[in-house]
Amino acid sequence: MQETKQMPAQGERVTVYPAEGRRVRHPHTAMVIPATGQAVAWAPYWRRRLKQGDITLDAPVPSDGDQSKVAPKQGANGGGSPTRPKKTSKPAEASLGAGEDTDAGGSK
């Protein structure tokens, strides 16, 4: 049986997790709460979702060998977002085509 927790106070920051098989949207952003959870300010909306069984305050426990449901996807940079190419500035001479003169005056 699941341990009963005390209801958070209104405005308190808590992490909510969707219940197994549920998709829950944040009321202000309309974004789906990820399986890894999301920190939210406790409000009547979240209390209703908890009482209806749509969310839980306990992090989901991964089953043996199935960590994809709770582990965030990581890009090559080790963060939670995919790797983006770095912006690099090229020197002005590198952008000139072959045979173009760098002299602004044009006279030789």
In terms of Cβ atoms closer than 10 Å to its own Cβ (0-12, 13-18, 19+), residue 31 is exposed
pTM value? Answer: 0.55
Note the pLDDT of residue 34: 96
Provide mean pLDDT across the span 51-58: 95
* DSSP code for 62: P
CA max distance for the chain: 89
Note the pLDDT of residue 61: 82
Range with the poorest average pLDDT among 13-17, 35-39, 41-45, 57-61: 57-61
